[in-house]
Amino acid sequence: MTDSFDNRRILIVDDNRAIHQDFQKILAKRPTSDLSQLEAELFGQKISKPQTKQSAFELDNAYSGNEALEKVRQARNARAPYALAFIDVRMPPGWDGIETVEQLWQVDPNLQVILCTAYSDHSWQETFERLGNSDNLLILKKPFEDVEALQMANAMIHKWNAAKQAGIKMIQLEQLVDVRTEKIAKQNQQLEDKITELNHTRAQLIQSEKLAAIGQLAAGIAHEVNNPMGYVHSNLDVLKGYVDAIVKVCHSFDSLLAEAKCHPTLKSFTQRFEQDKQQQELSYILEDMPQLVQEALNGTARVKGIVADLKDFSHMSQAQKSEEDINQLIEQAINISKNETKYHANIIKDFVSLPLLPCWRNRLVQVILNLLINASQAIDKDGQIVIATRANGKDVNITIEDNGSGIAPEHIDKVFDPFFTTKEIGSGSGLGLHICHTIIESHGGALTVASEQGKGTKFTITLPLKT
């Protein structure tokens, strides 16, 4: 009934059964009437055109306020509420009309009410103070004309249906607004996702350009250093042979001098030679010279290793994965970062034998290098960085743990966000850890962080053995 917006249900509330019969006659008297017909009858005018038929009222009766309340409650629960109630003011015993209206409106605030009164126990001021200046209430003074009651009933029924229809329209409008709002919110989210994606792509491009520039610089430096270091190492290797020969000859000469001391004619010669030998500290030179050459050879070998690592690192365009020993990649990253880390911390390696892992080697070196440098920057001095590797049959785990300043709790969830940095302006772009996280994810792995402020930070890289 409410869905058709033609609810014509009326509840008559009066303790007098004769009144119910009167209302039955009045409201059933004009099933075809409308406001124009009522106006014609009221003023004695003739109707020139036939009127459109209206549906008959659906009447129900209650003989006390309590019974009316129960019927209104049941009608609401059945989703067939009353549109209008005619309520008599005086209904002894029990609730009077005003208290009945108060009770009914608590159950159904939309119920239209026509309060019928001739002699009331309440003043008009008291009535309005209790019921308020509601547009759901009309007063019908007894005795009343049939057409007056009928006109009021039609007007209030029409008002209820119009309000109901307006409410439905408002709900529909709100639903349309909700749908449109949801659509706009979805479009906004898509736009935000697109902006995030573009920022992410931009960050990767910036980082790629930086790495490409670093790679070119590293390749150029490696080339320039490698050539002179090659002949320096070669010459040192030859020099080592010369030094060994000189030392051998000097030792043989010492034996000859020992024999020459027995000949009186050579005594002065041997004395002068011993004197010169002591003045020039020849014994110390002969002992120290091979060690110096060997240390120089070790140094050049180390430089050549660093150059080789730089040359490997400069090849950033590796297109396909290769089977790599993770421990060797970590060693390469340690060698490249040594100039940065040696002033801050001692690096402790805790490696175990690992199976070969399919990966982009240079990208992993980049990740480990970045984490090592970050760890060293978190340490003032005399700290330590522990790098450990483990394997469990499915994954390879790499942990890089420092005993530096740690990360504040409010920042721990943001460290992998692009452009987030706690460094001073100009000291960091906020892209390093974000790129590291992206690289590890591209391997099908995970990069996580745990930190306690003032005690240190631990990054854990998990890489699958099969990808």
Q: How many CA atoms lie within 13 A of 399 on its CB side?
A: 16
pLDDT at 426: 47
Helix (H) or strand (E) holding 91: none
CA gap 104, 70 in Å, rounded? 9
- Over the chain (467 residues), the average pLDDT of each successive run of 10 is 70 92 80 52 54 70 94 94 92 87 93 83 71 85 87 92 89 90 91 82 65 60 65 72 74 67 62 66 73 77 66 56 90 84 86 91 87 87 90 91 88 79 57 81 91 91 85
The confidence score (pLDDT) of residue 270 equals 64
- 374 CB-side CA count, 13 A: 27
pLDDT at residue number 52: 44
pLDDT (0 to 100) of residue 114: 93
Distances, alpha carbon 108 to alpha carbons 83, 102, 163, 171, 280, in Å: 10, 10, 14, 19, 119
Q: Which residue has the tokens 């409650």?
A: 73
**326 neighbors 364 (Cβ within 8 angstroms):** yes
Whether the bond between 143 and the residue before it is cis, its omega within 30 degrees of 0, is yes
114-123, pLDDT tens digit by residue?
998 876 556 6
Residue count (the chain): 467
Task: Render 285-326 in DSSP notation, one character per residue.
Answer: HHHHHHHHHHHHHHHHHHHHHHHHHHHHHH-TT--S-EEE-H
Nearest to 352, CA basis, from 389, 379, 394:
389
pLDDT score, position 460: 94
Record the pTM: 0.41
